[in-house]
Amino acid sequence: MADPNERSAFVGAGLKLEQVGREITVPAGTCIVRQGEPPKHFYVVKSGKLRVFRQTSDGIRTDLTELGPGDYFGEVALVTGQPRTASVEAVQDSHLLQINKEEFDWVLDHNPQLARHIIQQLSHWLVTGDRRLEQEVIHQAKLRQISWFDYVLMLGLSIVIALVFNLYNDNRIPLVQGWGEKNEIPHISLSQALQAHQQKEAIFVDARKNGFYEQRHIQGALNLPVIYFDLMYPLFQFTLANLEGAKDKPLIAYGGTISRRFDLELARQLKDKGFEKVMTLGSDYLAWPQAFPLEEGKPRKPAHIPLGLAGFLEWLPVGIFLLILIPSIRRSPYLSVVCRVLLGIIFIQFALSKIMRPGVFALNVVDYGLMPAWGVNLWALVLPWAELITGLFLILGIRTRAAATLIGGMNIIFIVGLIHAFYLDLPINCGCVGEAGEPVTWWKVLKNVGMLLMAVQIFLYDRLFVLDRGGFIWRERKI
């Protein structure tokens, strides 16, 4: 095929091509030769406009060039004897001179000028092809690069928007729970508390949620969940009034975790209610399960609250997981687009349910018992916005590989938390959508593994409808 920038215009110019072949007319949209088919004819364009392109097995089309009057194509396959290297279709109604292989060989044998011209043209294509290959390699290298800027962009946006939004949110929370508050609650050592328990000289109050209390608590302790203090306090007051000698005994609050000092919060609220003798365990406040006699039981399973659309969409990654096992589908860029849209919708749905009520989400984080207390509220503020921004970037095709990396990282963290909660038999829901959630089961783990594999598929094979560091990539790429 001739380069449109070097129009040969050789029809009838002493090369005797008009003495052979036959003229044909092709309407617009007709595919004249197809990539991969055996060569039969050589063509010269007399009028009209044609497009040369290559197309991969998964439908990725690359436009190579356009041909007009005086150009020719089909000589490479006839000279090499190899299948067609590209397809040619008519963009407009076109008139062509069609020459079969025998006639083409005869013309080359009797016309050295044409043979020399074809050799020169083939050499030009080799040089041009090398340049195009270099440009494509550079382009793909840019797409494969993941700059720190991509992560700074998404995480920076998440942090800034989260902090600003929290300032104007009616349900705002402090960046660190209890930060700046003076601790005026006296402590009692573990050994002294144990002695008071053995001699029944104190009343122990568990500050955790009811499910944790039912699972394991200090023998004879009462339960007053600090997060439901206003609701449960009248019942606690009634119970306390019916305990013999309770009026003169000190209250020892316990139940603090590395994620939140529920015991300190409960002690402060009891003190505000007029209780003078309120204490908490000292620096070894986490060691009470090993030091005290315990009452253990089977906690009631948390109520299963349907997740709505997000819960339905969460099952789709399980099906995607099965599709990824098929090699031809696993590498498909169209599957990447499906994964991007699906993951984007899931994470946006989860994010919107938590953004307005960060305090509720913070309590869900505390339930897992993995996050240090100073990081709980920051995590509860920033994570929903990170989910929203990365989900939007995936759907819009912006920095998709970096967005997929961050979503994959969030999935890994959540999978670790689910397995941790499952093995410890924690009486909690997943906490995916505010106070709603599903029980922690292996099905929940499998769903998140499916979403993790979707993120990996996007990272490796996404290249359609993408605005990335190398520019915007559409289905049909022009090189």
Query: From the first residue on, what is the mean pLDDT of each consecutive set of 10 residues in the chain (479 residues)?
Result: 43 53 90 90 91 81 86 81 88 91 80 75 70 64 66 93 93 81 82 92 92 92 91 91 82 90 90 90 88 88 63 70 75 85 90 88 88 91 95 90 93 93 86 70 86 89 65 45
**Which among 113, 114, 95, 96 has a CA at the least distance from the CA of 42?**
96
Residue 461: is it exposed, middle or buried by C-beta count within 10 angstroms (0-12/13-18/19+)?
Answer: middle
Which residue blocks in 259-326 are alpha helix, DSSP H? 262-272, 288-291, 309-324
Cα–Cα distance measured from residue 299 to residue 234, given in angstroms and rounded to the nearest whole number: 23
pLDDT of 195 reads 93
Q: Tell me the pairing of strands 471-473 and 466-468.
A: antiparallel
Taking residue 110's Cβ as centre, other Cβ atoms within 10 Å add up to: 12
Residue type, 414: F
| The residue type at 292 | F
Single out the residue of 91, 77, 78, 90 nearest to residue 36, CA to CA. 77
> Residue ranges of the alpha helices (H) in 67-111?
75-80, 101-110
- What's the pLDDT score for residue 154? 93
Q: 281 has which bridge partners?
A: 188
371 CB-near residues (< 8 Å, 6+ apart): 258, 259, 365, 379
Domains of the chain: residue spans and CATH:
17-141 (2.60.120.10), 146-173+303-478 (no CATH), 187-296 (3.40.250.10)
Whose tokens are 């959540």? That residue is 414
Distant-in-sequence, close-in-space partners of 375: CB < 8 Å, separation ≥ 6: none
Q: What local confidence, expressed as pLDDT, does residue 4 receive?
A: 44
Cβ(54)–Cβ(64) below 8 Å? yes
Q: What are the backbone dihedrals phi and psi of residue 65, each rounded to the nearest 5 degrees, phi first?
A: -165, 175
Distance of CA 333 to the CA centre of its chain: 16
**Sole residue written with tokens 């098929």:** 326
Please report the pLDDT score of residue 15 as a whole number. Answer: 46
**Nearest CA to 257 among 388, 371, 107, 417?**
371
**What distance lies between CA 280 and its chain's CA centroid?**
43
Give dist(CA 460, CA 146) in Å, integer: 12
